[in-house]
Amino acid sequence: MTFVPAPNRYADMTYRRTGRSGLKLPALSLGLWHNFGHERPIDTQRAILRRAFDLGVTHFDLANNYGPPPGSAETNFGRIFAEDFRPFRDEMIISSKAGYDMWPGPYGDFGSRKYLLSSLDASLGRLGLDYVDIFYSHRPDPETPIEETMGALASAVHQGKALYVGISSYTPEQTRAAVAALAEHKVPLLIHQPRYSMFDRHIEDGLFPVLDELGVGSIVFSPLAQGLLTDRYLGGSVPSDSRVATSRFLSDTVLTDTYLNRARALNAIAHERGQTLAQLAVTWILRQRSVTSVLVGASSVHQLEQTVAALDAPALTNDEIAMIEPYAVHGTGLG
């Protein structure tokens, strides 16, 4: 059936300016890191993407290695885009990244010009696009001069294959160097994609002030600390389909008494506000003026709708922020 988007899709979503650029992003963006590989039914993926667009989520974030297998999220998104979203291309922000291991040999990883531009061409082919809106260096490369990595991003813009460029997981010092290197090519750094949550606050005193000074936006990932800021583990057990049970990034060693006490306390504060713990986690992040957008995942339409409902809640008061502070402790859940 031909997709007809909701006519009121922009009525309720909040859009925030990205640094000092002219680009606005939705307060919530949809990340395709999980749930959009070949092991997931294409109809489920299509339903999530359609509903996201209907809710005003205009930004869809991918990377060359998203799947599994690597490349499959771009392939699946490209198929759905061609069938459903092509008439609405000008209403969408589509991003991709390169930086992690993608193919064998010395040219399929990190930040060389060879790898980044080859990867971008491959991503465009899988996506079925002439350009992406944002192309990222997915991680810093300790062995490649930052001038080369940023020069490759600038080339993507000059070639018309990307409208903007970004970086992910760069330190404050590396971010300054990236901005300076891009300036040599008269290309601004649009956005930084760091990890940030109540349990991972390392960027507050370092990166955020630098982004504010330089006029760079941010879109934060892992806002729910890979599910630790949800109600899934509050009983102390591990559901068989949970991230702790299935992911190589987490194990049940994270479910310490300290984690449970803090998560349960945050859950109680959320309930007092009429929110879930996951919704409170999103609201807490959006209190930061340095944050342009929060990157969320979704395994179902219902989960997506529950996350977007966080935007309906009132902003946190100073008293509520003070109540949260003792439990929003950096390093919680590290095992």
Q: What are the pLDDT tens digits along the chain (335 aa)?
A: 899 999 999 999 999 999 999 999 999 999 999 999 999 999 999 999 999 999 999 999 999 999 999 999 999 999 999 999 999 999 999 999 999 999 999 999 999 999 999 999 999 999 999 999 999 999 999 999 999 999 999 999 999 999 999 999 999 999 999 999 999 999 999 999 999 999 999 999 999 999 999 999 999 999 999 999 999 989 876 655 545 544 555 556 788 999 999 999 999 999 999 999 999 999 999 999 999 999 999 999 999 999 999 999 999 999 999 999 999 999 998 75
Res 237: pLDDT:
66
Number of H helices, E strands in the chain: 11, 10
75, 96, 191, 190: which is closest to 138 by C-alpha? 96
- Tokens (6 digits) for 172: 């404050």
Given a contact cutoff of 8 angstroms between Cβ atoms, the answer to whether 98 and 123 are in contact is yes
Confidence (pLDDT) at 245:
42
Name the residue among 269, 220, 224 with its Cα closest to residue 242: 224
Q: Which tokens hold the place of 64?
A: 């060359």
Position 254 scores a pLDDT of 82
What the block records as the tokens of 285 is: 């992040």
